[in-house]
Amino acid sequence: MEGELLFVAGLLALFAVGSAAAAVRLGVPALVAFLVLGMLTGSDGPGGVDFDNPDLARSVGTVCLIAIMWEGGLTAQWDSVISAIRPSALLATVGVAITAGLTALAAGPLLGLGLLESLLVGAVVASTDAAAVFATMRTIGVRPRLSGLLESESGLNDPMAIALTIGLISWIQQPAYGFADMALLLVRELGIGLIVGVGLGVVMAYLAPRVFPALSPFGPLASLGLAAVSFGAADLVGGSGFLAVYLVALIMGSASHEAQEELEVFHEGLAFVAQMALFFLLGLLVFPGELGAVLLPGLLIAAMLALVARPIAVALCTLGTGMSLRARAFVSWAGLRGAVPIVLATFVLSDELPASDEIFNAVFFVVLVSATIQGPTLAPLARLLRLSGPYAGGVTRPPGDP
């Protein structure tokens, strides 16, 4: 039995790698290949694997998201992140709330949902995808301050979206739950996560140069353990483990040491595997036969998110920053969706809400549109807006820039 399972798992892994390579050659985002592979492997596809365990999917998604956020914080450029901390913090909090609310305006009538369920759809898709943003910013060459804004936003906005999602699920399930309870949840999650993350991060920034060079070849394992401890320490006292994970990695990554490159390479590969697993999981949980009913609503929600909700949130949260219109347009289009909406969609399935299937299928279309349209067009858009090259536009308008 073990040999059979290993054989099938090995075949799937090899087929996944082959599919990703073929997708890159064809100009299709590699992660879409894993999404399709998951759909083909699922119960509606030729693979016939009947996977219907939202609780397991939620646990797997949480672990994968920790790996993605740890790598994002560890490899972020500290100076670039700090230089854009004000607009990125606003986008990660107020911007997420604005995006969720505006997206809900479309989700409600299109899917026939009530107010709370519509807001839940908005919350699930409100945060940007850390892994996709990190990878894209490193390849298209925009100015460090602009890439720092997008990277720090994508790392910081996940906890806000997660807290909103958890609060709205509680509100739907418990009629006595109200706005005050949800506000308290947000303050507690973000506040405790911030305290734990900064505290552990400062300690590790001091210890990392002294400890990790001496741990080789066990440094990556120690780093994984630290990521788990960071999440657990915040979660155990009622805070956002995801925020703590990102902040510990970000602060620790600012302290350079001999083993830093080794750790970054290891976690970069691990984060890609985690993202691959999440897209495969999304495909596995989707029933293609049910997608036809939400095809048009799903695409319209994706359009509302990308063309209306995100640009308005960016415009409001970057007032007074001196950001040029070109840079704002780029930041608006760079709101890539991926890992976090997938994980949060498993939260909805796991809690068995009445509209869970409609919400999950709508999330599928949002992620698909973002992966196939927004991601591949970012580099051409950066060139069109003159935000790549020796001067990359950045956040602040240079002298004479219209």
CA angle at 19 for the pair 18 and 25, rounded to the nearest 5°: 90
Rounded to whole angstroms, the Cα distance separating 151 from 146 reads 9
Smallest CA-to-CA distance from 349 within 363, 364, 338, 360 is with 360
Higher pLDDT, 392 or 45: 45
User: Which of the residue ranges 148-152, 295-299, 309-313 would you say has the lowest mean pLDDT?
Assistant: 148-152
Among 110-119, 125-134, 272-281, 357-366, name the most confident range.
110-119
Q: What is the structure's pLDDT at 20?
A: 62
- What does pLDDT average to over the chain? 84
Higher-confidence residue of 66 and 45: namely: 66
Query: How many DSSP H helices and E strands does the chain contain?
Result: 20, 0
> What pLDDT does residue 268 have?
86
DSSP 49-118: B----HHHHHHHHHHHHHHHHHHHHHHS-HHHHHHTHHHHHHIIIIIHHHHHHHHHHHHHHHHT--HHHH
CA distance 19 to 58: 25
* 291 has pLDDT over 60: yes
Quote the pTM value: 0.86
Q: What is the largest CA-CA distance in the chain?
A: 70
| 1 vs 319, higher pLDDT | 319
pLDDT band at 236 (very low <50, low <70, confident <90, very high): very high
pLDDT in tens, 192-228: 999 999 999 999 999 988 888 888 788 889 999 999 9
Three-state DSSP state, 176: coil
Nearest-5° Cα angle at 159, 155 to 163: 165
Model pLDDT, residue 12: 66
pLDDT of res. 11: 74
CA atoms within 13 A on the CB side of 381: 17
Question: pLDDT for 69-113, tens place per residue?
Answer: 899 888 877 777 787 788 899 999 999 999 999 999 999 999 999
In this predicted structure, the answer to whether residue 52 has a pLDDT above a threshold of 90 is: no
Q: Residue 395: its pLDDT value, please?
A: 41
Helix axes 144-173, 325-333, angle to 10 degrees: 50
- Summarize the confidence of residues 340-352 as an average pLDDT: 87
Domain positions in the chain are 52-384
Helix (H, G, I), strand (E, B) or coil at 175: coil
Specify whether the CB–CB gap between 219 and 259 falls below 8 A.
yes
More confident residue, 291 or 30: 291
| Distance from C-alpha of 2 to C-alpha of 307, rounded to nearest angstrom | 49
φ, ψ (nearest 5 deg) of residue 240 = -80, 110
For the domain spanning 52-384, the CATH number is 1.20.1530.20
What number is the average pLDDT over the span 233-240? Answer: 94
Most confident of 29-33, 242-246, 265-269, 317-321: 242-246
Supply 94's token pair: 């107020």
**Tokens (6 digits) for 140:** 């298209």
Q: How large is the average pLDDT for residues 289-318?
A: 91
Lowest mean pLDDT segment, chosen from 23-27, 55-59, 175-179, 366-370: 23-27
Q: How confident is the model at residue 244 (pLDDT cuts 50, 70, 90)?
A: very high
- CB atoms < 10 A from the CB of 336, how many? 23
Q: What is the pLDDT of residue 21?
A: 65
Q: Are 284 and 364 in contact (CB under 8 A)?
A: no
Q: Are 115 and 122 in contact (CB under 8 A)?
A: no
Residue 194's nearest CA partner among 223, 168, 159, 162 is: 159
